Amino acid sequence: MHEEHGSHRIAHEEYVEATPKEGEHIAAEAHMEHDMSHEGHNAPAMAKMDHGRHDMQGMEGMDHGGGMGRAGHHEMMVADFRKRFWISLAITIPVLILSPMIQMFLGLGESLRFAGDPFVLFGLSSVIFFYGGYPFLKGFVDELRKSAPGMMTLISVATSTAYIYSSATVFGLTGEGFFWELATLIDIMLLGHWIEMRSIMGASRALEELARLMPQDAHKVMPDGSIKDVPLSELIVGDRVIIKPGEKMPADGKVVEGETSVNEAMLTGESKPVSKKTGSMVIGGSINGEGSVTIVINKTGKDSFLSQVIELVREAQESKSRTQDLADRAALWLTIIALTGGSITWLVWFVVLSAELSFAIERAVTVMVIACPHALGLAIPLVVAISTALSASKGLLIRDRAAFERARNIQAIIFDKTGTLTQGKFGVTDTIMFTDGLSEDELVKYAASVEAYSEHPIAKSIAASVGETFETTGFNSIPGKGAEAKVNRRDVKVVSPGYLREKNIPYDDARIGKIAEQGKTVVFVLIDGQLSGAIGLADIIRPESREAVAKLKEIGVQVMMLTGDNRQVAKWVAGELGLDDYFAEVLPHEKSAKVKEVQARGLTVAMVGDGVNDAPALAQADIGIAIGAGTDVAVETADIILVKSNPLDAVSIVGLSKATYRKMLQNLAWATGYNAFALPLAAGVLYNYGIVLSPAIGAIFMSLSTVIVAINARMLKA
């Protein structure tokens, strides 16, 4: 570790405010301008900073292995605070022993006094002041340079006042110095910052943990067919790579050989292993299951899914919370109040009440220490960082912080139908029997046995609805009408209503009319020339859609649907899900107008849809949510991107937004409430009742308030 720490702010400030330096490798960044100035906890949550810029943007470096990263750097800073604390604490012991007040308190009289002991006390306290207090003094200088007084200003003014006054008493000024209070104050400040930084390390590690998902090397298939282990930096688009069971995918790519299941939980939030076979796409950093597969790489470096996720998280953490404006103003005013209050406290005690100079200074120092806007400065940024990282781990990517915070006030949410509320593919929804002696499952299985040989989309949907088919021979297509084959030695035809009309086969049935009114496709099954049953098909409603709609309605959100499909289909889906409203037969360019129509009702509207086809509607909505982005997370018109095609994730966004805002308010309430209570106490309003706070006790209260704010923010993860 460097002896001089350049101009580097403390971890909790840095991790929420660090900005990228284009094109730099993490490892190189991790050694830049490394200091402990701990500047301005009252700074805006995502303000631009000019120190080392330890971010995770250098994904070219990330996915090519190596690099300390910010979390490792924070660990160094935690270790540095720990070291400063223990050294200062060790020196504090002789300071306490040599302090006249402590000797009197312990009843030692003058037994430990010796010639020159005030100078020894001065020397030891000077080491604590300059070594232990260095982070705060350096931060004070930086705050003055930027004309932004804050926490460091208060701590430095308080400790410097105590040090200068106490030193003056050693060299001739009449009065009692309080070196022991100075020493214990700095010790407690160091301890408080050490504990606080450890409390918030989880959030600062979030992007680092994502970066660590990448392996160090890959098994590249060479042109001659041999396998060579190469570092990720040597991989390019088009390379073929083998991934063995249990290994991590080295890059985004397409499976060209083999089958397996892949764990994508850390990347998309998908809890179950995802099946992969030839043609399937895999994400770099996901963990291969039991099979061995060969992939062709199609994305590396900054173009990879993981790189884009990390960039989105970083951008979201840099986008400013509206609530932060309130915290910034409050912190600035608290700094002014603390400095003014400290001065007034000294004047009242020394000038008005004629107290001893040392007592008046001690009261002023306590006021400035206890009023540090430390907790207030952390109240919002820490919640922002944790909520953003938490959402990313669940496959909920926040592009616009302000929009995410508005999501707590959503009054109406409009879902696109196809691929969002539905699966975007046909499936069997109804089975109608016309004869006895055959079960519904058997009817579908007979039909699937025929359709398994057809390339028609509807035929494929029927075939996909069963696991196994009967023995089938003699398949023959009936152009424009259906198909036929021998199934279990029986003649089976799967045909359209047009075939029945052509053959004058009656099929009048109220049940057929009902599913036809719902806009579903109906096919008929004839077995040995007899009309045995009918099968209804439609775009399958996702199982999660019902739960998502129910949960949204529980919290008072109106749920609507937008679709280009016909009115009958839209009505059926809306009825099945219990939607409040729906818009059917809407052309792509008309979708934004429908969103505007709902907004005209005075509602705050979120639009959930495809990031490409629904782009105008997403842009028009108060909150645009792109769903089912998969590995393509570069959706410019969306405020929030859902990696999976699960409508329940939209519910999660609303819930997380509400929880995040609640934590912000809790932290702000605690930070401001604490100061309202602590300031008068520090000034000595209860002096007549024997209650007086020393600077050290004030530092304990201030540190505890900060740690409470940090712990409360981390409870978002619970």
* Pick from 59, 318, 79: nearest CA to 208: 59
| Both structure tokens of 597 | 């129509």
- Distance in angstroms (rounded) separating the CA atoms of residues 631 and 268: 9
- Distance in angstroms (rounded) separating the CA atoms of residues 120 and 124: 6
- Beta carbons within 8 Å of 324's beta carbon, 6+ residues apart: 44, 45, 46, 380, 381, 384
Amino acid present at 354: S
* Helices 648-683, 381-393: inter-axial angle, 10-degree rounding: 160
Going from the C-alpha of 613 to that of each of 230, 536, 563, the distances in angstroms are 40, 28, 11
Amino acid present at 191: L
CB 407 within 8 A of CB 657: yes
* Pick from 39, 42, 41, 51: nearest CA to 7: 51
- Distance in angstroms (rounded) separating the CA atoms of residues 472 and 493: 12
Residues with catalytic roles: 416
- Beta carbons within 8 Å of 403's beta carbon, 6+ residues apart: 622, 623, 624, 639, 640
319 backbone dihedrals φ, ψ, rounded to 5°: -70, 135
| Both structure tokens of 494 | 């799967």
- Distance in angstroms (rounded) separating the CA atoms of residues 37 and 305: 35
Going from the C-alpha of 607 to that of each of 38, 214, 244, 599, 627, the distances in angstroms are 42, 34, 41, 11, 10
- The residue ranges of DSSP E strands in 633-676, in sequence order, are 640-642
Helix (H) or strand (E) holding 228: strand 227-231
- Tally of CB atoms within 10 A around 60: 18
CA 585 from chain center: how many Å? 37
User: What single DSSP character describes residue 351?
Assistant: I
Torsion angle defined by CA atoms of residues 447, 450, 452 and 453, in that order, rounded to the nearest 10 degrees: -160
CB 422 within 8 A of CB 542: yes
- Beta carbons within 8 Å of 62's beta carbon, 6+ residues apart: 26, 56, 211, 214, 306, 307, 310
CB 628 within 8 A of CB 642: yes
CB 607 within 8 A of CB 622: no
